[in-house]
Structure 1
């Protein structure tokens, strides 16, 4: 099973057909993805489930429905066990961004965290989940596939929000502050926390 978010409502990719209550089932092979996105954005539906009999083909078939944007990001932890957050579009988020050229996804993730926050000395500890969400750019829907990594750093210098990317704040948040930030964040980020 996979979850692809349209804002904070999931499209669930699954092999299981369930009786519809607060969601709708569609066949993955024949679904009109634009219609699904519109339904999730304009109705009280809580989710949509796209069904396919082969679990190994669920994601591959879905990703062919819209253009893909590959991104990398980091859940960065410092010496005090605080996590690095950015504030963009009036929500708390983790730093991430699009892959460029021939860089590896790990290189993308480190570069984007540095660019968006000013934090240096990043070391990747382990890969985290890959998240999926649908966004609209220049009137067209796309699927962002974000590869996340847990990172650590001993950096204690100045945090610098990348303002030309709409980031207004960068902060190290302790456990209590993280819980508060999660009340104003994205479903994808809640999965990582």
Structure 2
């Protein structure tokens, strides 16, 4: 299945006929994506299931409704197993950013983490997950973010990238992470949960 967040509410594109949540079910081929997104702006609807018998074919049809923007980022561990967070737009987030022309997802992920946090000695361990969310900016956009598990043993002072609206870059322990996720995004919870399951 694929999960796309619209203001932290999920659109679940699935080929499973087993009902695993309380969200309404729509047939993907009979649905208009803009109408689904409009429905999710209704406070009573917490999420939507979009059913398609062929998941990959259905997903490819679904994403044609959007202009896709690709980004990459990292869940960075230090030697104390703390995780690197940034604070931007009054929310806790993980460092990430757009993939530039000619860059691989791995190169973009490392560059963005370095730029947003002023950190060095990053080592890419492995891919974690790809997350999706929608936003409006000159039309409807779908942001796909490729996340990687990284490590760094750097002891330098972290420097948040102020020009990107980042006011804090900090490593957080387990207790602080739990608090931060109360004021974060569903995609970030998904990245963290994927990391915990490894």
Q: TM-score, normalised by structure 1?
A: 0.93
What's the counterpart of residue 115 of structure 1? 115
What's the counterpart of residue 71 of structure 1? 71
Q: Is contact 2:33–2:62 with CA below 8 Å preserved after alignment?
A: no
What's the counterpart of residue 195 of structure 2? none
Q: Please report how far the alpha carbon of residue 51 of structure 1 lies from its aligned counterpart in structure 2 after TM superposition.
A: 1.4
User: 1:49-79 deviations in whole A, cap 9, x for unaligned?
Assistant: 1111112323222211111001100000011
Distance 1:164 1:35 in 2: 36
User: 1:87-117 deviations in whole A, cap 9, x for unaligned?
Assistant: 1111111000110010100000000001111
What's the counterpart of residue 186 of structure 1? 185
Distance 1:154 1:71 in 2: 25
Is the deviation greater in 119-128 or in 155-164?
155-164
Gaps of 5+ in 2: 193-198
Distance 1:97 1:59 in 2: 23
The size of the alignment, in residue pairs, is 192
Q: Is contact 1:76–1:153 with CA below 8 Å preserved after alignment?
A: yes
- List, as ranges, runs of 4+ consecutive aligned residues in structure 1 with deviation greater than 4 Å: none
Distance 1:135 1:54 in 2: 26
Distance 1:109 1:89 in 2: 21
RMSD: 1.7
Q: Please report how far the alpha carbon of residue 17 of structure 1 lies from its aligned counterpart in structure 2 after TM superposition.
A: 4.8
Q: TM-score, normalised by structure 2?
A: 0.91
